[in-house]
Amino acid sequence: MPKKVGVNYRQLIIPFLILVAIIVIDQLTKLWAVGNLIEGEIKQVIGQFFQLKLIYNQGGALGIDLGSNIFYLATSLVILIFIISFVYSNRDKPAVSRPLALIAGGAVGNIIDRIASGRVVDFLDFDFFDFQLFGNKIERWWTFNVADAAITVGIILLVIWILFSAGSKGASATPPPGEAGNIESSQDF
Active-site positions read 122, 148
d(CA 92, CA 144): 32
Alpha helices in the chain (DSSP H): 13-36, 69-89, 94-117, 146-172, 183-186
d(CA 139, CA 158): 28
Q: Is residue 63 left, alpha or beta, with left meaning phi > 0 and alpha meaning psi from -120 to 50?
A: left
Closest CA to 98 of 146, 27, 159, 158: 158
d(CA 15, CA 13): 6
d(CA 86, CA 97): 7
d(CA 32, CA 140): 23
Closest CA to 123 of 48, 25, 57: 57
d(CA 95, CA 64): 30
